[in-house]
Structure 1
Amino acid sequence: MSDDATFEDSHDKPVNIGALDADDLQVISALCQDAVFPITEMRWQAKAQRFALLLNRFRWEDPGQDRHGPERVQSLLVFDNVLGVASQGIDRSQSDMVLSLLSIAWNTGDDGAGEIRLTLAGDGAIRLKAEAIEAGLRDVTRPYRAPSRSAPDHPA
């Protein structure tokens, strides 16, 4: 008797990648563009020097959107070696707020360390002071049909 097929057995493998430099981080940024997440799904673990987000990521890499429609997947985005976290344009007291991630970028400081900047829609941002880039993006659920039934759009 054979086992049931799993998502991992399919052609569309779940994303599980890491970033150790600015070029790698650009790949993660592209995969996370237009991800949405409730404000309650951000975690800063100071002792572990870790910042994590549980995202509902749009599957830009999916070649079958015309066949089955746009999809999202829950993904865990983790940054290690984080020394501090700051934000602007985010009211943490609004527990029902949903944020939209537009991009992730690395800015090198004078001492070799630097900052990872997560730019959010609506002029919000999260700044992670980091010793170095050490990030990971991993899909943790099966893809699901995007509730909007359409791809995010950025009119010019």
Structure 2
Amino acid sequence: MVHAKLRLLAQDEADLPILSAAVQDGIFKVADATWTPAKRRFAIKLQRFVWEAPPRKGAGQRVWAVLSFEGILAVQARKVAQSRRDAFASLLAILFEPGEAPGGKLRLSLADGGEIVLEAECIDITLADLSEPREAVARPRHDL
């Protein structure tokens, strides 16, 4: 069966819950989270758990995807192993704190209490699958 590659765009606060749910439990290496100040872009290449796929035997599926944030003015990280570029992080949710409209702070909540905070001019986020799905090693389980 051919996988329809997911492509989502969030441009306002109402779009965020759908996009956040699609990337919940996405795992990435710290080295695969990059900020390009000159382009005002923050991007993460991650292994997204395919929550939208019908349940099958096994743990489920993961797909490589890129999550791109445009109009980013500053990035802060808390409890992220930035000195260990090969360390893994797990994305739990993307939340928005309004600031001076249409901007604000995008909070990327990570497992184990970590957080990446993006100071954004506005909400402009794209999620795009890059590969075909493959079997996941385990199904994510945690209390949110």
TM-score bin, normalised by smaller chain:
over 0.9
- Determine which of 19, 41, 49 is the counterpart of 1:50: 41
Q: Which runs of 5+ in 1 are unaligned?
A: 1-6
Larger Rg: 1
Equivalent position SS for 2:17: helix
4+ residue runs over 3 A deviation: none
**Matched residues in 1 for 2:26 and 2:141: separation?**
13
Supply the AA of the counterpart residue of 2:66.
L
TM superposition score normalised by structure 1: 0.87
Q: Specify the alignment match of 1:152 in structure 2.
A: 140
**Aligned ranges for residues 15-26 of structure 1 at < 5 Å?**
15-26=6-17
**Matched residues in 2 for 1:69 and 1:118: separation?**
25
* CA gap 1:155/1:133 in 2 versus in 1, 3 angstroms: closer
Verify: 1:83 aligned to 2:65, yes or no: no
1:98-155 CA-partner distances (Å, limit 9, x unpaired): 000000011101454201000000110000000100000000011000022xx21125
Quick check: 26-35 or 87-96, which moved more? 87-96
Supply the AA of the counterpart residue of 1:117.
R
Q: Specify the alignment match of 1:40 in structure 2.
A: 31
Supply the AA of the counterpart residue of 1:26.
P
The number of equivalent residue pairs is: 144
Supply the AA of the counterpart residue of 1:15.
L
**Matched residues in 1 for 2:52 and 2:103: separation?**
31
State the superposition RMSD in angstroms.
Answer: 1.6
Quick check: 13-22 or 107-116, which moved more? 107-116
Supply the AA of the counterpart residue of 1:115.
K
TM superposition score normalised by structure 2: 0.93
**Matched residues in 2 for 1:49 and 1:154: separation?**
33
Q: Which runs of 5+ in 2 are unaligned?
A: none
Quote the offset at 1:71 in angstroms: 0.2
Task: State the identity as a percent.
Answer: 34
